[in-house]
C-alpha cells in the first residue's frame, strides 16, 4: 500500500479553466485527464488524502455527477475539506473519512516516525513544526509566495494534474529547512526524518527566499 496526496481538482468548476490557466478545452477533457492520471498513480489498495476543493456543486442536481467521478477514482479516499466542498461532496459515502484538518505519523525508516499535518489552507505554524513535521496544503494553486519551512502545496496545478506520492513529498522536503517563527526552538528529537533535516536560525527567518 502506498500513500498519496492531492488537492484542488475543482471538478465541475468551469471558471477554474481560466482562473488557473488550465490547458483543457472544456470540463469534460479536464475531468477525463485528471481521472486517468489519478488512476495511473493510485492503485485500488492505496490511500490518498485529498486536501480540499474536490468539486464545485450547486445543490443536489450535482450529487450524482460527483458520485460518478468518485466511483471512478482508485484508492481509499480521505477528504480534508476545502472552501468549495459543499454537501454534495462532503456527504458522499465513498470517502473513508471527511475532516477539516488531519495528521498522520508514518514510519519512513528514521529514528522517529514522520508527522504530516494536512489542511486545505497553508499554515504559518502547525503542530510539531519545530521537530520537523510536514505541512501539506492546497488552496493556493501554486501561487503562494514561498516562505520556507517544511511546507508543500500538493494541489494538482503544481504537479501535472495528478496526485503525488509520499516518496515525492519526502524527496522535496529533504532540500528544505525548518524555519522557526515563534517561541519553539528547532529540535533534533521527536517527529523528524533524522539528521537530513536542517533549520534556519531565528535571526534569518524573516529574510525572503533568494
Average the pLDDT over 48-63 and give the result: 92
Establish if 101 belongs to a structural domain.
Answer: yes
Distance (Å, rounded) from C-alpha 100 to C-alpha 156? 19
Q: Give residue 193's pLDDT.
A: 43
Domains in the chain: how many in total?
Answer: 1
pLDDT higher for 185 or 171?
Answer: 171
Residue 46 CB burial class (10 angstroms; 0-12, 13-18, ≥19): middle
Establish if 210 belongs to a structural domain.
Answer: no
Residue 208, pLDDT > 80, answer no
Establish if 184 belongs to a structural domain.
Answer: yes
Establish if 209 belongs to a structural domain.
Answer: no
pLDDT higher for 15 or 206?
Answer: 15
Give pTM, 2 decimals.
0.86
Establish if 85 belongs to a structural domain.
Answer: yes
Distance (Å, rounded) from C-alpha 80 to C-alpha 136? 11
- In three-state secondary structure terms, 15 is coil
Where in the sequence is the domain holding 14, given as residue range(s)? 3-204
Average pLDDT of the residues of the chain: 88
pLDDT higher for 191 or 28?
Answer: 28
The CATH number covering residue 34 comes to 3.60.21.10
Establish if 124 belongs to a structural domain.
Answer: yes
Q: What digits encode the pLDDT tens for the residues 156-183?
A: 999 999 999 999 999 999 989 888 777 7
Q: Which residues of 75-105 are buried (b: 16+ CB within 10 A; e: fewer)?
A: bbbbbbbbebbbebbeebeebeebeeebbbe
What are the distances in angstroms from CA 147 to CA 121, 176, 205? Answer: 14, 11, 9
Polymer length in residues for the chain: 210
Establish if 86 belongs to a structural domain.
Answer: yes
Establish if 73 belongs to a structural domain.
Answer: yes
Q: What digits encode the pLDDT tens for the residues 9-39?
A: 999 999 999 999 999 999 999 999 999 999 9
Q: Give residue 198's pLDDT.
A: 42
Closest CA to 135 of 9, 20, 51: 51
Residue 206, pLDDT > 70, answer no
Distance (Å, rounded) from C-alpha 57 to C-alpha 129? 35
Closest CA to 4 of 37, 32, 46: 46
pLDDT higher for 202 or 38?
Answer: 38
The beta strand positions in the chain, using DSSP E, are 3-6, 47-50, 76-80, 97-99, 101-106, 114-119, 134-137, 151-153, 164-165, 177-178, 198-199
Q: Give residue 45's pLDDT.
A: 96
CB-hemisphere CA count at 13 Å for 137? Answer: 21
Q: Give residue 187's pLDDT.
A: 66
Amino acid at each position: 500500500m502506498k500513500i498519496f496526496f492531492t488537492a484542488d481538482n475543482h471538478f465541475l468548476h468551469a471558471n477554474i479553466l481560466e482562473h488557473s490557466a488550465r490547458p483543457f478545452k472544456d470540463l469534460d477533457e479536464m475531468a477525463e485527464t485528471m481521472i486517468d492520471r489519478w488512476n495511473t498513480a493510485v492503485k485500488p489498495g492505496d490511500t490518498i488524502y485529498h486536501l480540499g476543493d474536490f468539486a464545485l456543486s450547486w445543490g443536489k442536481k450535482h450529487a450524482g455527477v460527483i458520485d460518478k467521478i468518485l466511483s471512478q477514482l482508485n484508492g481509499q479516499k480521505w477528504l480534508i475539506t476545502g472552501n468549495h466542498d459543499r454537501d454534495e461532496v462532503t456527504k458522499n459515502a465513498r470517502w473513508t473519512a471527511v475532516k477539516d484538518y488531519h495528521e498522520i505519523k508514518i514510519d519512513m525508516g528514521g529514528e522517529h516516525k514522520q508527522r504530516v499535518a494536512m489542511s486545505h489552507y497553508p499554515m504559518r505554524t502547525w503542530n510539531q513544526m519545530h521537530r520537523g513535521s510536514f505541512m501539506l496544503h492546497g488552496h493556493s494553486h501554486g501561487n503562494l509566495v514561498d516562505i520556507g519551512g517544511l511546507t508543500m502545496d500538493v494541489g494538482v496545478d503544481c504537479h501535472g494534474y495528478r496526485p503525488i506520492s509520499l516518496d515525492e513529498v519526502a524527496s522535496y522536503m529533504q532540500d528544505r529547512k525548518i524555519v522557526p517563527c515563534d517561541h519553539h526552538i528547532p529540535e533534533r528529537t521527536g517527529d523528524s526524518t533524522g539528521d537530513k533535516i536542517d533549520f534556519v536560525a531565528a535571526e534569518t527567518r524573516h529574510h525572503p527566499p533568494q
